Amino acid sequence: MTTPNRQIQLAGIPTDKLRPEHFSLAQAAMPQAAEGELLLRIRLISLDAANRAWMQGATYRSALQAGQVMAGGAIAEVMESKAAGFAQGDLVFADTGWQEYAALPAARVQKVARREPLTHLLSVYGVAGLTAYFGLLRVGRPKAGDTVVVSAAAGSVGAFVGQIAKIKGCRVVGIAGGADKCAWLKDELGFDAAIDYKAGNLSGALKEAAPAGIDVYFDNVGGDILEACLFRMNQGGRIACCGAVSQYDGAPPRHGPRGVPGLIVTKRLTMQGFILYDFADERQQALDELEGWVRAGKLKVPEDVIDGLENTPAALIGLLAGENRGKRMVRVTGV
């Protein structure tokens, strides 16, 4: 009897808010590994705001199409290897898509060292932690005593950005949605201040939380929050552009951040976009430092784990609505 392969397929490309009907649960045959490929069993699926951005068109990867398996990165275990350098039981990170099994060329996967708990391979030692590390330290370049502001601060990347900035001796202000999240940022993660953007008067709140201005702004959201932070930047400030989640789901914004060209010139700002793979050569160094901070208790690892492949669409929709604290992922059960 052949083992089935359950998949979450993209049933349609959303033109407004992402909804459950944009996905479908399908069943396919177990894939087979060809020469040079690996047969993988997916263990943990990473959920990221970028999943939604891929539905809007080509980015650093090809645009998604209706009818295909929903794209996404995952931690997977090698079931069968037909490629040199990999053996049964190895763990890898790969763009497997939302399914239980995948067969991929070995060149398209990255072997990862087994760590416990396994979930840390997607959070602090995965895309979230590494993105925070490189975006803050290599793009934002904070110095001790700087004021660092991070948006989506309770999310998978932002929660690490703020903590790393504190480790580096900075004053840290987080922007998040809701009083509960703001209290959590201060009480649990050690942020100096937190701003609830849903409460209104963001400019006034920024002035109060960062009276000396902003030296480094780590932007995960774009839109009005980016605009408000631009006006509080200090001369020579740095803006690390990681994402624009405010523009991913729903109707496009009516305007972009206003005042950008003039402020960049008069304040001599550096505004730089980046993706994790820009720093591939430094990955091991970053992992060593992150692991040291975790072991020393300096870096907490908030995770939001949901069980069941069938719950992946709802979990992504909830992430886009700001349900999660820390890294959200789905544990694929029953395989």
**Chosen CATH of 4-123+302-331 out of 3.90.180.10, 3.40.50.300, 3.40.50.150, 3.40.50.1100:** 3.90.180.10
CA dihedral over 198, 202, 208, 213, signed as positive or negative: positive
In this predicted structure, what is the pLDDT of residue 335? 56
In this predicted structure, what is the pLDDT of residue 170? 98
- Measured CA to CA, the distance from residue 288 to residue 113 in angstroms comes to 12
| Strand ranges of the sheet holding 193-196, from the earlier edge strand across to the other edge | 193-196, 171-176, 147-150, 214-219, 233-241, 270-273
Domain ranges of the chain: 4-123+302-331, 127-277
Show pLDDT as tens, one digit a residue, over the chain (335 residues). 578 999 999 999 998 899 999 999 999 999 999 999 999 999 999 999 889 988 987 777 778 889 999 999 999 999 999 999 999 999 999 999 999 999 999 999 999 999 999 999 999 999 999 999 999 999 999 999 999 999 999 999 999 999 999 999 999 999 999 999 999 999 999 999 999 999 989 999 999 999 999 999 999 998 889 999 999 999 999 999 998 775 665 555 555 566 677 788 899 999 999 998 899 999 999 999 999 999 999 999 999 999 999 999 999 999 999 899 999 999 998 65
The DSSP bridge partners found for residue 174 are 150, 194
Q: Please report the DSSP string for 246-294 in residue order.
A: GGTSSSPPSS--TTHHHHHHHTT-EEEE--GGGGGGGHHHHHHHHHHHH
Task: Confirm if 329 and 46 have CB atoms less than 8 A apart.
Answer: yes
Q: Whose CA is closest to 279, among 63, 107, 131? A: 131
The DSSP bridge partners found for residue 296 are none
Amino acid type, 72:
G
Provide the 3-class DSSP secondary structure of residue 38. Answer: strand
In this predicted structure, what is the pLDDT of residue 330? 98
Task: Confirm if 49 and 243 have CB atoms less than 8 A apart.
Answer: yes
pLDDT in tens, 282-297: 999 999 999 999 999 9
In this predicted structure, what is the pLDDT of residue 49? 87
Amino acid type, 61:
R
At the fourth CATH level, which superfamily is domain 127-277?
NAD(P)-binding Rossmann-like Domain (3.40.50.720)
| pTM for this prediction | 0.91
pLDDT in tens, 152-165: 999 999 999 999 99
- Measured CA to CA, the distance from residue 102 to residue 73 in angstroms comes to 12
The DSSP bridge partners found for residue 28 are 5
